[in-house]
């Protein structure tokens, strides 16, 4: 009887383990993808969204769509047993369609703070059925973030930074409060020059001159799309700001800059070094 009980218990544990370890994962954000990889489940990722580009091998993984919009049909075509998505990306209709198809969807909440990074990792680890691995990753990430914040304290420059989002010379946006950019600028020891509004607003020459930033910060792809520093310095009003006068136009990898997860410490240190 004892042997039979032991055998049944072992079988149950094996079944539970199988359910807890998804084999076909779709990740729908860069930070989620990086966290899944850091938790040792990168090989199980069968598709990602367009914002997922790190680590390098992720660029060879199929994209579930050509833009940020995802459909139930596109997701289901990859036969996933787990879909991880940030809050607000999946519509109620798509969520219902996935549920009807038997696809498990877990929505991950993002908070733009060191504590938020810890919660983010914990959510992903639990979704993957490996909270113990998550705790290990949280400890390492926390140590790296604390080290980065100590570096910031030793480099107290506090410039005014304006973040400009661009994809060519079309509509450009400026990041205000309640954004990941606002949070990372502050964590890296600077001030957001656009702190009089929340979320994003269209860029205007008048607002740029009024904000008078010491530094203009851009994603790498936006920087290149405007012709680099030389092209940006020719934009109307830029030469009237401290950033323009001192030619302080800087760029950073977009996925690193918005990573409030496993690479937050690296992002803080890298941005602080540019002030």
**Residues 24 and 118 placed together within one structural domain of the fold:** yes
**Residues 169 and 219 placed together within one structural domain of the fold:** yes
**Domain stops at, among 114, 133, 152:** 133
Distance CA 269, CA 266 (A): 5
Backbone angles phi, psi at 148, to 5 degrees: -65, -40
Backbone angles phi, psi at 45, to 5 degrees: -75, 120
For position 112, which CATH number holds?
3.40.50.1980
Class of residue 81 by CB neighbours under 10 A (exposed 0-12, middle 13-18, buried 19+): middle
Per DSSP, the residues of 117-182 read HHHHHHHHHHHTT-HHHHHHHHHHHHHHHHHHHHHHHTS----EEEEEE-SSSS--EEE-BSSHHH
**Number of domains, the chain:** 2
Say if 264 falls within a structural domain.
Answer: yes
Question: What pLDDT is recorded for position 168?
Answer: 76
Question: What pLDDT is recorded for position 167?
Answer: 85
Say if 146 falls within a structural domain.
Answer: no
For each of the chain's 275 residues, which pLDDT tens digit applies? Answer: 555 555 554 444 444 444 457 999 999 999 999 999 999 999 999 999 999 999 999 999 999 988 878 999 999 999 999 999 999 999 999 999 999 999 999 999 999 999 999 999 999 999 999 999 999 999 999 999 999 999 999 988 899 999 999 987 778 999 999 999 999 999 999 999 999 999 999 999 999 999 999 999 999 999 999 999 999 999 999 999 999 999 999 999 999 999 999 999 999 999 999 99
**Residues 250 and 171 placed together within one structural domain of the fold:** yes
Question: What pLDDT is recorded for position 2?
Answer: 57
CA angle 84/43/132 to nearest 5° reads 65
Cβ-count burial 262-275 (b if 16+ within 10 Å, e if not): bbbbebbbbbbeeb
Q: What's the domain range around 120?
A: 20-133
Question: What pLDDT is recorded for position 5?
Answer: 53
Sign of the torsion formed by the C-alpha atoms of 265, 266, 269 and 272? negative
**Residues 37 and 99 placed together within one structural domain of the fold:** yes
Say if 5 falls within a structural domain.
Answer: no
Say if 139 falls within a structural domain.
Answer: no
Say if 165 falls within a structural domain.
Answer: yes
| Category of 70 on φ-ψ map: left (φ > 0), alpha (ψ -120 to 50) or beta | beta
Say if 124 falls within a structural domain.
Answer: yes
Say if 257 falls within a structural domain.
Answer: yes
């Amino acid at each position: 009887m004892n042997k039979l009980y032991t055998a049944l218990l072992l079988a149950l544990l094996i079944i539970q383990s199988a359910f807890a370890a998804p084999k076909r994962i779709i990740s729908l954000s860069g930070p989620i993808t990086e966290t899944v990889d850091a938790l040792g489940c990168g090989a199980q990722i069968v598709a990602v969204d367009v914002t997922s580009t790190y680590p390098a091998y992720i660029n060879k993984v199929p994209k579930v769509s050509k833009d940020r919009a995802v459909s139930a049909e596109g997701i289901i075509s990859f036969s996933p047993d787990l879909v991880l998505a940030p809050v607000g990306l999946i519509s109620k209709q798509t969520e219902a369609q996935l549920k009807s198809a038997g696809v498990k969807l877990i929505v991950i909440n993002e908070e733009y703070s060191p504590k938020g990074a810890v919660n983010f990792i914990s959510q992903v680890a639990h979704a993957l059925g490996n909270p113990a691995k998550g705790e290990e990753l949280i400890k390492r990430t926390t140590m790296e973030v604390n080290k980065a914040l100590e570096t910031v304290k030793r480099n107290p420059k506090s410039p005014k930074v304006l973040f400009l989002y661009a994809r060519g010379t079309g509509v450009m946006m400026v990041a205000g409060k309640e954004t990941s950019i606002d949070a990372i600028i502050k964590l890296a020891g600077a001030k957001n020059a656009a702190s009089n509004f929340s979320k994003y607003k269209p860029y205007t020459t008048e607002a740029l001159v009024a904000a008078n930033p010491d530094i203009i910060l851009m994603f790498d792809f936006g920087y290149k799309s405007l012709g680099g520093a030389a092209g940006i310095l020719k934009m109307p009003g830029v030469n009237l700001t401290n950033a323009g006068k001192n030619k302080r136009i800087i760029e950073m990898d977009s996925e690193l800059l918005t990573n409030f997860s496993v690479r937050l410490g690296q992002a803080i240190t890298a941005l602080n070094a540019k002030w």
